[in-house]
Chains A and B, each alone.
Chain A
């Protein structure tokens, strides 16, 4: 790896050698890897040169993974994971997903019960059903179990093309989730999961394909009140738009 600090390695080899610079994380006995701050600085600099392509996103993530594996503290592992998940790469990439999954694996193995560090990460960065299930199973903390149990429900809810049967299953799943975790507090939203899941349940029950459209009663752009149901009997294309 380009970022190996040869000088630090040499320093270790000197007779009566002195301590390696504190800024670098010791990876194995003689290999010193970069720090997260150094990686972050390189990522910021790369944005100024060119948009991030897949190869670079994967490389940066692999380096974040190496730092994550070597890190001694939960906070440092979480920060490495965040560096990969916040990369400005919009496309889809199997290789990138793979490395991001491995970052989660390190966090799952080491920090499954760390509510303060891990619970807030889950809703934002967990995109993988299997790993969500693995973390939920391994963790003893209800806050983490709840956040993990919510992941497959939000993933299913995000699909526009659910069948009516899948929608019914999702409604049942959300209600079961509320029963089990309704009183647990989501540290990220600072509400209970019962409250936090209410909006999603409404949307799945009333805004899925096959549901009766909820009433809208509001002013039009000229200030005249009207209702969506005024148009019953007609096919309605309801267009959420803005001129911005």
Chain B
């Protein structure tokens, strides 16, 4: 997933788009070098020391990893994917919502 996420962030850096994570690694210290190595520049909430059983994923009813929620500029949930739907499909959904957000601003 990382390479496509990096390219998404780069491609949409001037657009109204943000990639946010909810990271469910139990050990935050062990994660730090990986963030550097993989060049993970986007921000993640930390799900806490319980890992995948942490409070955010529990509240959001996450049953598989990764799960992706695509939220529009107004804060409404527009798509949900348990497991990645594939890079092309995901890009198309994101692009449509970004276009919508830009039109709304004008």
Contacts and interface: CB of A to CB of B under 8 A. Distances in A.
B81 A234 contact: no
Contacts of A242: 23-25, 51-52, 65
Interface residues of A, number: 35
6 contacts: A212-B75, A221-B46, A235-B72, A235-B73, A239-B19, A240-B66
A239 B76 contact: no
A237 B80 contact: no
B94 A240 contact: no
A27 B25 CA distance: 53
Greatest chain B CB density within 10 A among A216, A220, A241 is at: A241
Interface stretch (A37-45, A180-188, A225-233): A225-233
A207 interface: yes
A216 B55 CA distance: 10
Greatest chain B CB density within 10 A among A203, A209, A229, A242 is at: A242
B77 interface: yes
Contacts of A212: 75-77
Given A199-B61, A238-B20, A229 B52 contact: no
Greatest chain B CB density within 10 A among A210, A221, A235 is at: A235
Contacts of B76: 210-213
A52 B71 CA distance: 40
Interface in B1-45: 1, 5, 8, 15-25, 28, 31-32, 34-35, 38, 43-45
A220 B23 CA distance: 9
Contacts of A235: 15-18, 70-73, 94, 97-98, 101
